[in-house]
Amino acid sequence: MFYSYEWSGMAAGTYSLTAVATDNNGETATSTAVSIKVNAAPKTIKLKAGWNMIGCPISGSTEIAKALSSIWQNVLVVKNFDGFYDKSAGALNSLLNVEYSKGYYVKVSVPCELDWIVR
């Protein structure tokens, strides 16, 4: 048999979970503990139409379209001091990824909210 359980509203942190099964005779068995890490909910950043300065909180290096997926339909240009990504530039783009803790200028066509969830 397969059972599921929805668990929501937990604060960020690490939890240890076990399952207890009881049979028709009242006998119980407890599973081994499983460690679950609950991450803090992502913080959204409100961007205004035009240029905005943002810092990347995603660990490592992430493709621009994935890192900015929540606003990608509104992005016109992303740049830093070394390169740029312009949707209209095609193969001329020199900036393909965003890096953890680095700053970027993002130009968006309309006000929007960036959630930094990689999709």
Helix or strand (DSSP H, E) at 28:
strand 28-30
Q: Which of 5-14, 77-86, 107-116 has the lowest mean pLDDT?
A: 5-14
- Contact residues for 11 (Cβ-Cβ < 8 A; gap 6+): 38
- Cβ(36)–Cβ(17) below 8 Å: yes
What are the pLDDT digits (tens) for 48-78? 999 999 999 998 999 999 999 999 999 999 9
